[in-house]
């Protein structure tokens, strides 16, 4: 079933423009209530630190209460925290208001089912079928109730702490934590501190408009400088909604999602605790696949998007997967990608092994990779364009068997992503520019 509003990760857009308007949020709540809680029920709603979160929270609350659904409001908390708390509070479904790594002028509405998993495409399509119907308002006796749950943050923090091995404490480690002025600005520093680490917090002063602005996992330069400046053992950078993590080693060198996957999978494998294959995406670096193969660890590639990684993990009974961007999933600890929990697994490995993070990633050699975003004003059929096909064929012939080309439309932005990977950095960059130029021509 074709969906009009739901994309790869809920509904997202510029605040004030369809679909991110108060009117749409009200209608969406009414439609979701009809599908997910037709006889009444309970929804848990969280958000990140965007100023627009307040108005969307109120609109959703009104729509659900009018439809006879009780509402639990937990305030700013990471997206994976909402997934966990939906289960913890036995809610019928959960919602988080966030546009993830985007700047403050965007926002989004993401849903979780009662298990803390993302909704299926079919369920999202069912919700959309009700969007054009009048907003339902039940009789007063059947209206829902709304309340704030101040304990929710502490419940989530305790859960995060429980995911590191028993007996492992972080005393003696100095850790820089960058929360992107986002949803994890309270939870992440407090979890690390309560586990014994000495913390240096940055990006932990949200004002509603500075989320992801020059900080966090999409802008880790400040993290790198701070790690070396304060002589920390490592640094952790989350994105605005806390489901993505990038780290920096003791030298300030970045450790991306592929490298984090390698560190976690290699440690689990050494302890004979790795379940099933490791799952990456078509964008995962070839160096990850080769490093895992050298240890006898199976590797599978899913389509881009953490939901596709999650689906493949479940299908193959795996536990560790993720994306280069830092969406790392540890299904042996939680049900979805959680930046803080993933970082805790790595920090625990550093502590247990006594090795610096740089040593733990040393056995994985990344291939040079170039990623370009080509902005388009209209959809482009990449398969039908002879200009693009010819450019890709020429690039693949030039790169040989030790190179790859991946083209894909973004699920969250009006861009075509061009990824080229190979042995020679200069050649990779040149080939990527040539393909990007061909895509631009096809889009004109």
Q: What number is the average pLDDT over the span 386-392?
A: 91
Neighbours of 256 (CB within 10 A): 20
How far is Cα 74 from Cα 356, in angstroms, rounded to an integer? 37
Length of the chain equals 444
Question: Where do the CATH 3.40.120.10 domains begin and end in the chain?
Answer: 11-152, 172-255, 256-342
The tokens for 257 are: 């999602």
> Which pLDDT score is estimated for 376?
86
Q: Which residues contact 205 (CB under 8 A, 6 or more apart)?
A: 181, 185
Give percent above pLDDT 90 in the chain. Answer: 89
pLDDT-derived band at 444, boundaries 50, 70, 90 = confident
Q: What number is the average pLDDT over the span 159-187?
A: 97
Q: What number is the average pLDDT over the span 107-123?
A: 94
What 3-state class would DSSP assign to 48?
coil
Question: Where do the CATH 3.30.310.50 domains begin and end in the chain?
Answer: 369-443
> How wide is the angle at C-alpha 202 spanned by C-alphas 201 and 207, nearest 5°?
120
> Which pLDDT score is estimated for 338?
97
Give the architecture-level CATH label for domain 172-255. Answer: 3-Layer(aba) Sandwich (3.40)
Give the model confidence (pLDDT) of 428-440 as tens digits: 999 999 999 999 8
Q: Give the DSSP letter of residue 141.
A: G
Neighbours of 363 (CB within 10 A): 13
Homologous superfamily of 11-152:
Alpha-D-Glucose-1,6-Bisphosphate, subunit A, domain 3 (3.40.120.10)
> Which pLDDT score is estimated for 103?
96
| From 4-18, 73-87, 179-193, 345-359, the region with the lowest mean pLDDT | 4-18
> Which pLDDT score is estimated for 381?
82
Q: Using an 8 Å Cβ cutoff, are 32 and 92 in contact?
A: no
- Alpha helices (runs of H) in 357-412, residue ranges in sequence order: 357-360, 386-399
Sheet holding 320-322, edge to edge: 299-302, 278-281, 320-322, 328-330
DSSP 79-107: HHHHHHHHHHTT-SEEEEE--TTS-TTEE
Give percent above pLDDT 70 in the chain. Answer: 99
How far apart, in Å, are the Cα atoms of 139 and each of 30, 72, 103?
Answer: 15, 21, 40
Give the model confidence (pLDDT) of 224-261 as tens digits: 999 999 999 999 999 999 999 999 999 999 999 999 99
pLDDT-derived band at 412, boundaries 50, 70, 90 = low
Residue 217 annotated in active site: no
Q: Using an 8 Å Cβ cutoff, are 82 and 155 in contact?
A: no
Q: Which residues contact 437 (CB under 8 A, 6 or more apart)?
A: 391
How far apart, in Å, are the Cα atoms of 383 and each of 389, 401, 402, 415?
Answer: 7, 22, 23, 16
How far is Cα 286 from Cα 400, in angstroms, rounded to an integer? 14
Q: Using an 8 Å Cβ cutoff, are 119 and 146 in contact?
A: no
> Which pLDDT score is estimated for 78?
98
> Which pLDDT score is estimated for 156?
98
Instruction: Assess whether pLDDT exceeds 70 at residue 443.
Output: yes
DSSP 7-25: BBTBEEEETTSTTSSHHHH
> Which pLDDT score is estimated for 8?
78
User: In 194-269, where do the E strands start and end?
Assistant: 198-202, 234-238, 245-248, 254-255
Instruction: Assess whether pLDDT exceeds 90 at residue 146.
Output: yes
> Which pLDDT score is estimated for 194?
98
> Which pLDDT score is estimated for 347?
98
> Which pLDDT score is estimated for 31?
98
100, 217, 284, 342: the active-site residue = 100
What is the residue-averaged pLDDT of the chain?
A: 95
DSSP 226-246: HHHHTT-SEEEEE-TTSS-EE
Q: Which residues contact 240 (CB under 8 A, 6 or more apart)?
A: 48, 49, 50, 98, 99, 100, 101, 102, 180, 181, 182, 183, 211, 212, 216
Q: Using an 8 Å Cβ cutoff, are 192 and 164 in contact?
A: no
How far is Cα 343 from Cα 331, in angstroms, rounded to an integer? 14
Homologous superfamily of 256-342:
Alpha-D-Glucose-1,6-Bisphosphate, subunit A, domain 3 (3.40.120.10)
> Which pLDDT score is estimated for 1?
57
Q: What number is the average pLDDT over the span 284-289?
A: 95
> Which pLDDT score is estimated for 153?
97
The tokens for 211 are: 């989320």
Give the model confidence (pLDDT) of 121-138 as tens digits: 999 999 999 999 999 999
> Which pLDDT score is estimated for 360?
98
The tokens for 286 are: 């070839």
Whether residue 332 is preceded by a cis peptide bond, meaning omega within 30 degrees of 0, is: no
369-443 CATH pick, 3.20.20.20, 3.40.50.150, 3.30.70.270, 3.30.310.50: 3.30.310.50
Instruction: Assess whether pLDDT exceeds 60 at residue 324.
Output: yes
pLDDT-derived band at 402, boundaries 50, 70, 90 = confident
Tokens 């330069």 belong to residue? 221
Residue 379 vs residue 53, higher pLDDT: 53
């Amino acid at each position: 079933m074709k969906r009009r509003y739901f994309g790869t990760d809920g509904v997202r857009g510029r605040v004030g423009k369809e679909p991110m308007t108060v009117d749409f949020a009200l209608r969406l709540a009414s439609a979701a209530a009809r599908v997910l809680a037709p006889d009444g029920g309970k929804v848990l709603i969280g958000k990140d630190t965007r100023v627009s979160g307040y108005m969307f929270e109120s609109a959703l609350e009104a729509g659900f209460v009018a439809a006879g659904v009780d509402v639990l409001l937990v305030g700013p908390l990471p997206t994976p925290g909402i997934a966990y708390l939906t289960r913890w509070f036995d809610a019928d479904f959960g919602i988080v208001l966030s546009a993830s790594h985007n700047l403050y002028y965007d926002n989004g509405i993401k849903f979780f089912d009662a298990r803390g998993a993302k909704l299926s495409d079919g369920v999202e399509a069912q919700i959309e079928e009700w969007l054009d119907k009048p907003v339902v308002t039940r009789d007063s006796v059947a209206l829902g109730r709304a309340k704030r749950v101040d304990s929710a943050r502490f419940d989530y923090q305790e859960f995060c702490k429980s995911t590191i091995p028993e007996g492992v404490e972080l005393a003696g480690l100095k850790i820089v934590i960058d929360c992107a002025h986002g949803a994890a600005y309270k939870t992440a520093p407090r979890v690390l501190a309560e586990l014994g680490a000495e913390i240096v917090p940055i990006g932990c002063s949200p004002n509603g408009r500075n989320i992801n602005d020059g900080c966090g996992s999409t802008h880790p330069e400040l993290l790198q400088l701070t790690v070396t400046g304060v002589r920390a053992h490592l640094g952790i950078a989350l994105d605005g909604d806390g489901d993505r993590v990038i780290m920096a080693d003791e030298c300030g060198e970045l450790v991306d999602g592929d490298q984090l996957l390698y560190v976690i999978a290699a440690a689990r494998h050494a302890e004979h605790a790795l379940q099933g294959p490791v799952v990456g995406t078509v964008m995962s670096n070839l160096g990850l696949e080769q490093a895992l193969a050298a240890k006898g660890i199976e590797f599978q590639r899913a389509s881009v998007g953490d939901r596709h990684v999650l689906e493949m993990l479940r299908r193959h009974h795996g536990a560790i997967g993720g994306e280069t961007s830092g969406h790392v999933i540890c299904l042996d600890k939680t049900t979805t990608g959680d930046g803080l929990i993933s970082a805790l697994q790595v920090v625990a490995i550093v502590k247990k092994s006594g090795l610096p993070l740089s040593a733990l990633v040393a056995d994985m050699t990344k291939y040079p990779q170039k990623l370009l975003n080509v902005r388009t004003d209209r959809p482009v059929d990449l398969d039908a364009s002879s200009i693009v096909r010819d450019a890709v064929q020429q690039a693949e012939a030039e790169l040989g068997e030790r190179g790859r080309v991946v083209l894909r439309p973004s699920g969250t932005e009006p861009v075509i992503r061009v990824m080229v990977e190979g042995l020679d950095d200069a050649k990779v960059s040149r080939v990527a520019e040539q393909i990007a130029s061909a895509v631009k021509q096809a889009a004109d």
